[in-house]
Structure 1
Amino acid sequence: MRRPSGGATAEMTEVSLHDEEPDDAADGGRPPDLEASSPAATDGACSPLSELSDEPMGGGGPVEERAPPTAGRRPPPNGLRVDVEAEARLFNLTDKVASLTDENRALQDKLKRAQDESARLSAENGKERAHIETLEQQLSSLRAQLDGQREEAAEAARRQQEAARALELDLTGRLSRSRAQFEAACRDKDKMVLRYAQSEKSTMCPSCSRETLWDVTEKVLDVYGQEQQLFSVPVGSVSSAVYS
Structure 2
Amino acid sequence: MSLLVNPIPRRQPIRRGLGLLGDSLSGNCHTIGATVFGTEVYGYAAWIAARTGLFPSYVDNQGKVGDHTGQFLARLPACIISSTADLWMLPSRTNDSTTAGMSLADTKANVMKIVTAFLNTPGKYLIVGTGTPRFGSRALTGQALADAIAYKDWVLSYLSQFVPVVNIWDGFTEAMTVEGLHPNILGAEFISSRVVPIITANFKFPCIPLPTDAGDVYSAIRPFGCLNANPLLAGTGGSLPAGVNAVAGSVLA
Place the TM-score, normalised by the shorter chain, in its bin: under 0.3
Q: TM-score, normalised by structure 2?
A: 0.24
- Structure number with higher helix proportion: 1
The structure number with the bigger radius of gyration is: 1
